[in-house]
Amino acid sequence: MPRGVSKSIEERITEIDSKIADIKVKQADSNAKFKSKIDVLESQKKELLDADRSAKLQKVLEVADEKGMSVDDILAKISQ
């Protein structure tokens, strides 16, 4: 545009709307990236918690086996 010619209100509103749309796209991309990173971390956390739980259950089974108890005996005891 030549100097001294100002844009119409409609043109300025269109430009602002375009900038808002661009920012929203960038924000959505950013949110998706963060969600992806959070999902990976949550998955890693779950794996660790599952491994810890499995190790503890294995220890319970080992102790029960040492005491001559079966899984059914354990379930009966803790269900009382």
What is the structure's pLDDT at 2?
Answer: 60
What average pLDDT does this structure show over 1-11?
79
**How do residues 17-71 score in pLDDT, each as one tens digit?**
999 999 999 999 899 889 999 999 999 999 999 999 999 999 999 999 999 999 9
Nearest to 43 by CA among 55, 33, 53, 35: 35
Cα–Cα separations (whole angstroms), residue 55 to 37, 45, 48, 50, 67: 27, 15, 11, 9, 18
pLDDT band at 4; cut points 50, 70, 90: low
